[in-house]
Every structure is written in C-alpha cells, then in structure tokens.
Amino acid sequence: MAVRDPNPAAAGGVDHLRAAGVVVDTGLEADAARELNAAFLHATASDRPWITLKLAVSLDGAIADAGRHRGWLTGPSARAEAHRMRAAQDAIAVGLGTVRADDPDLTVRDAPQPRVAPIRVVFDSAFQTPPTSRLVTTARDVPTMIVGRDATAAGYDLLRDAGVDVLVAPDLPRALRMLRARDIRSLMVEGGARLAGSFLRAAAIDRLVIFQAPVVLGAGALSAFAFAPPADTLSLHRLRVVERRTLDDDVKTTYALQELGSVAT
C-alpha cells in the first residue's frame, strides 16, 4: 500500500494483516498517492475543504482583455480537462462578478459525469445574485449554495425561496468552515480576479492550477492576480510544480501553495 489511512476508525488494518501473515509493504508511490487522495487526507487534519484555484490566463497573465469581453482563452482540450477537474470536486465556487458576467451553469459537461454532481457555490456578500440566473433557476435540480454576510439583505429570502441553500458567514475563513461542516471536502474556485485575490489573501489555496493560452491580451487587460498580495505573482517560480503538461496549444501547470499536512485550520 502507498499510504496509511489517517482516519482513526480505520487504524490497525495493516497490523492485523501482518499478524495474519500477510506481507504488507508501505510507501510505494507515496507522494503520488497523497496527491491523488489529498482531499481525503486533508479532511482528517483541517476544518476547511482542500481548495484548488483554477485560472485560465494569457501569456501576459491576464484573464480578460481591456474591454472585458467574454470568450474562451483556452482550447477544447484544456476546457475538457477543466471539466474533468470539476467532476472530481465536491463543490465548484465562483463570485458574484462571474455570475453576472457569464451566467454559468457550473456543471460537468465535457467529461464523464460524476456519481454525485458538484455543489455550486457563489460567494456573494450581499446576496445580490440575480434570481433569473441559471444557478438560481436550476437550484432545485442541482444543489446550489450562496454564501453572504447579511441575512437582512433583500435578496436573501428571494434566493432561499428559489431553492438556494443560503449561508451567512462573517468572513471567508468562517464560510469555509461552514462548507466543510456540510461535508464539502474539496472545493475548486473558478471565480474571477477578485475572488481569487480573496482566497490568496486568506492563504486558503492549496493547489493553484493555471491553464496558459498562447495569446497576449495587451494593455488594459485584467491580471489574474490584480487583487492578490503582490508577492503571489512574483513567487510562482519558487513554488513546487506538482504537474505540468501540454494540452494542444495550452499548458496546464499545477503549483503547490501549501503542502499536505502543513495547512493551517
């Protein structure tokens, strides 16, 4: 086996096998096994989900051009890989800005369907998510949570009555603990620059996945790290690269912002 199960309820299995005369070796491909099962292993040591921030950027590190026009940066293979990543998550998160700009479904499409669809999560401090958005109008079909700070906001009751699970939390760390308490062990953040900045400032990102497209968006473009601490942009070259691979014309790189076992709770 590669790694021992950290769950106390499963403790002792290896010892029982060895006592029965079964030869058990541990540590084979341990690093790969820990990465593959990161969310499960992390759940025994932290009160927040294992969090992946996914960004699609240009060669000059931007996520939108000066006109903030909608459109795909990456090609079909990269987009299919992003959906494969979605399928492996307990929840997918965006911010209010992304809902307003893109009206996303946040469902798995270009990949095999998971047994349980990821929960859609919107971080929306004043519960201003449009009731006509796809996330709200389909909330009774696909579980949808909206996390805000003000239960007296006008939209709170509207969203709740539409079938949205509305959560009230005073800050991001508390919100993440609430999500974990609802059995969300893994969360992929797909929101824009503001939401990415909030998670980076809170040191709440475990893996940063960047899909880089061979395009330049030029002057006035919105940097993916526009709202992040300045050091985050400059320190990528010092982070451990978990994986790097080419997807047609795009490059996917996964960085370790925090190591498994060293995450603050």
Token pair 């919105």 is found at 222
Residues 70 and 9 in one domain: no
Instruction: Return the SS3 of 233.
Output: helix
Handedness of CA 191, 194, 200, 204 (dihedral sign): negative
Neighbours of 130 (CB within 10 A): 16
Q: What is the pLDDT of residues 130-179, one digit of tens each?
A: 999 999 999 999 999 999 999 999 999 999 999 999 999 999 999 999 99
Q: What is the pLDDT of residues 49-94, one digit of tens each?
A: 999 999 999 999 999 999 887 788 999 999 999 999 999 999 999 9
Residue 264 lies in a domain: no
Residues 132 and 197 in one domain: yes
Residues 142 and 15 in one domain: no
Residues 13 and 94 in one domain: no
Residues 5 and 102 in one domain: no
Mean predicted confidence (pLDDT) in 24-48: 77
Domain range for 166 is 47-256
In the chain, the percentage of residues whose pLDDT exceeds 90 is 73
Residues 26 and 109 in one domain: no
**Residue 70: per-residue pLDDT:** 74
Residues 59 and 161 in one domain: yes
Total number of domains in the chain: 2
Residues 52 and 20 in one domain: no
Q: Is the model's pLDDT at 233 over the cut of 90?
A: no
Residues 133 and 238 in one domain: yes
Contact residues for 67 (Cβ-Cβ < 8 A; gap 6+): none
Q: Is the model's pLDDT at 185 over the cut of 80?
A: yes
